A and B are shown apart, each in its own frame.
Chain A
């Protein structure tokens, strides 16, 4: 069974950084790009970027370049997203979701990680 298990909720102060994890199981981790998606207050969805676990190459939405950094640890089948210089605008639910060349849409999603940025 494919599962994407994300780390728990985060409460951070403005200006801080946070690293969210997404542990994959039930499939070949290197065979699927891992994507990250932001959802503000139950509203619409924004694609942040994705990373190819095999090569470690990341592609970013220009809007999030400089804000988000995507990495992977193939040994533990875990993807990470670091967000830096946090502001209240970064408060949201963040999802990881997998995508492949043959199925180039988001077929499995993590359960979401809620980030709250507050002083």
Chain B
């Protein structure tokens, strides 16, 4: 199974900060990487697919990058509504696997 590691389980950040969340796969996943946002008490929501493609309706302050084993999700200027847990997920091979999540909190 491909293991997905998000190095930080939580971040405490200030409004307006630039935030970068990292995700590392245990092997090359050829950009088959999605990011999901889960707000407290809500359902996971697809944010980014193919490592870099922002879903329709996704705020432009979100972006994804990376290749091979290493990927990042960036938020250029953190807003209150971005408080959530972010998960990466590989869909290169089954079983599809998720990272442990990175929770963003406001300082």
Contacts and interface: CB of A to CB of B under 8 A. Distances in A.
Interface string B32-57: 10101000000111100100000100
A7 interface: no
Contacts of A59: 94
B98 A107 contact: no
A112 B43 CA distance: 7
Interface of A: 35, 42-47, 59, 61-63, 95, 99, 103-107, 109-112
By secondary structure, the A interface counts as: loop
Interface of B: 32, 34, 36, 43-46, 49, 55, 85, 87, 89, 91, 94-101
A106 B91 CA distance: 9
A101 to B, nearest CB: 11
Contact of A105 (B91, B95, B97): B91
B89 A43 contact: no
Contacts of B34: 105-106
B99 A109 contact: no
B94 A95 contact: no
Contacts, number: 50
Contacts of A46: 98
B63 to A, nearest CB: 17
Given A62-B95, A105-B89, A43 B101 contact: yes
Contact of B96 (A43, A47, A112): A47
10 contacts: A43-B101, A44-B101, A45-B44, A45-B89, A47-B96, A59-B94, A62-B95, A95-B44, A106-B36, A106-B46
Given A105-B91, A112-B43, A47 B97 contact: yes
Given A106-B46, A110-B43, A44 B94 contact: no
Contacts of B46: 105-107
A104 B43 contact: no
